[in-house]
A = this chain, B = another copy of it.
Amino acid sequence: MKNKDIAVCLISGGMDSCVCACIAKKKHDIIIAIHISYGQRTSERELKAFNDISDYLDITKRYLVELSYFRDVGNSALTDYDIPVPENSLSDDEIPVSYVPFRNANFLSVATSYAEANRANSIYIGANQLDSSGYPDCREEFFNEFNKLIKTGTKPNADIKIITPLINMTKEQIVKKGAEINAPLHLTWSCYKNSQKACGVCDSCLLRLRGFRDAGVQDPLEYEHPVKY
């Protein structure tokens, strides 16, 4: 009998991780879903999105991981609540203050530990480097390096690879892909702010809205501010 094929899937609750999880779900027998709460402003709202998406995809094996030390690390508008979340400030020039230092290495290390312990061969993460905020730990080069690290730092019989299906997609392509595979985008939460409705002006909302506009698809979420696109 063939062993069941297991994949670990990092699901933040945002649009990208939702589309990524749907892609993983189609390819693997068992999904282990991991949500990481790291003291970010929107942790409750994101956790709800994680559970809603996991329910929709019928994923029963779920782990909530708390990395609350990111509040101590600070240095980011997402985890240091004294630093305002920038508004209407998308720029290609520099790394924005929403960057959380080396966050994705922490997330992927967690995922690799779960993968090795559960004999999973794949780790899915919905990172994308094209329409992104320019975070260094969202680039393809970073994930390639992480794959080398996994090879040297796990048991010889472990065979684990990071999969980044969205890495070279634009937000427009991600929205189109999501629509094509019936990803439950109405259950997602992308906004960096902790408000009732999505703010519509933070980097994450702006990137998302641009993606929906370019794809010619209506974003199912409600927004606080009138949408500029």
Contact = CB atoms under 8 A, between A and B. Distances in A.
Contact of A136 (B66, B70, B152): B152
Interface string A137-149: 1010110011011
Nearest to A114: B73
Contacts of A68: 66
A149 B145 contact: yes
Contact of A113 (B70, B136, B139, B146): B70
Interface size range on A against B: 35 or more
Contacts of A156: 136
Contacts of A152: 136, 139, 141-142, 145
Contacts of A150: 102
A60 interface: no
A184 interface: no
A103 interface: yes
Number of copies: 2
Contact of A101 (B70, B99, B154): B154
Contacts of A141: 152
A74 B154 contact: no
A110 interface: yes
A2 B132 CA distance: 36
A116 interface: yes
A101 B75 contact: no
Contacts of A154: 101-102, 136-137
23 contacts: A63-B72, A65-B69, A66-B69, A67-B67, A69-B113, A74-B117, A75-B116, A95-B155, A100-B113, A101-B112, A101-B113, A101-B116, A101-B154, A102-B112, A105-B149, A106-B106, A136-B156, A137-B153, A142-B152, A145-B149, A145-B153, A148-B148, A149-B149
Interface of A: 63, 65-70, 72-75, 95, 99-106, 109-110, 112-114, 116-117, 136-137, 139, 141-142, 145-146, 148-150, 152-156
